[in-house]
Structure 1
Amino acid sequence: MAHPQEDTLIAKQITPTAMRLLVLEVLQQQSAALSLADVEQLLGHADRITVHRTLKTFTDKGLVHRIEDGSGAVKFALCEPGCTPEHHQDLHVHFFCTQCRETSCLPAVAIPAIPLPSAFQVQETSLVLKGVCARCTSIA
């Protein structure tokens, strides 16, 4: 009997391995985006190169997307349905909390279309808002 994580990997044409299943499970259990170091810490004693390669494979296959939030570490979060290796559909705002330093995906907040001169071709769009998240605001 297949596990849901195995089905998720197979649907994205990713061969399920023990490490890939563990990394996917860690990503599914978190509400915030995770850096490579975060994933390593949550896994315990995991080979950094293997975790890095796993996250790269997940990104290349449209399972996760990369977030550069200005914290100095690239973060990873699960993609929305519909992402493909050729085109990520994650055109939503990301929010970096300056207090807890977590980065959250805000899929209900779309990045607005930005008209550019015809000679410009956008290859990637990213919008990171910085401030205090709802959890930290309620604690204060």
Structure 2
Amino acid sequence: MSVSLKQHNLRHTECREEVLNAFLNSRAALSHSDIENTIDDKYDRVTIYRTLKTFLEKGIIHKILDADGGSKYALCKNECSKEDHHHDHVHFKCTQCGNTTCMEQIDIPKIVLPQGYSREEINLLIEGQCPNCRQ
């Protein structure tokens, strides 16, 4: 997958580049603390938080709600924007290693809400053991 700051009209900063590379080099979703542990110590929590917020707004990453109440983030695979994220797919969290992965081959079925309700986001998290931990 090829993602660049330039294609999302973002000014290049060292922090943004390092956070983007952390996502590009990871096979699983990352939490804020995962990113802190992956990139250089020269960035404080607020700078990383702002970078994640910007990436969410630009459609570079999407948020995955964790069963424990936390958030993880993963790269968007399709062209996403702030107004239109295309990540209505299942997320799988391994109860043994803690990794969360996008399962894009499994679509969430269309859900028709009662009149008067409007959908903003769908989150479907399945927990179990990943293939690596089952071995």
| TM value normalised by structure 1 | 0.90
1:39-82 alpha-carbon deviations (Å, 9 max, x no partner): 00011413111111001100010000011021332101100122
* Residue among 54, 60, 79 paired with 2:57: 60
CA distance in 2, matches of 1:55, 1:114: 29
Equivalent-residue separation in structure 1 for 2:121 and 2:78 (angstroms): 18
Choose the corresponding residue for 2:106, options 109, 120, 134.
Answer: 109
Query: In the alignment, is residue 135 of structure 1 matched against residue 117 of structure 2?
Result: no
Identity of aligned residues (%): 40
Counterpart of 2:21?
25
Q: Higher helix share goes to which structure? A: 1
Q: State the SS of the aligned residue for 2:5.
A: helix
**Which consecutive residues of structure 2, in runs of 5 or more, have no partner in the other structure?**
none
What amino acid sits opposite 1:23 in the alignment?
Answer: V
Matched letter for residue 10 of structure 2:
I
CA distance in 1, matches of 2:84, 2:68: 25
State the alpha-carbon separation in 2 of the partners of residues 66 and 19 from structure 1: 19
Query: Which residue identity does 1:66 align to in structure 2?
Result: K
Structure 1 residue runs without a partner (length 5+):
none
Tell me, what secondary structure is at the counterpart of 2:21?
helix
**Letter paired with 1:33:** A
Match of 2:36 among 40, 52, 71: 40
Instruction: Supply the distance in 2 between the matched residues of 1:102 and 1:111 (Cα, whole angstroms).
Output: 20
How well do the aligned residues superpose, as a CA RMSD in angstroms? 1.2
Q: TM-score, normalised by structure 2?
A: 0.93
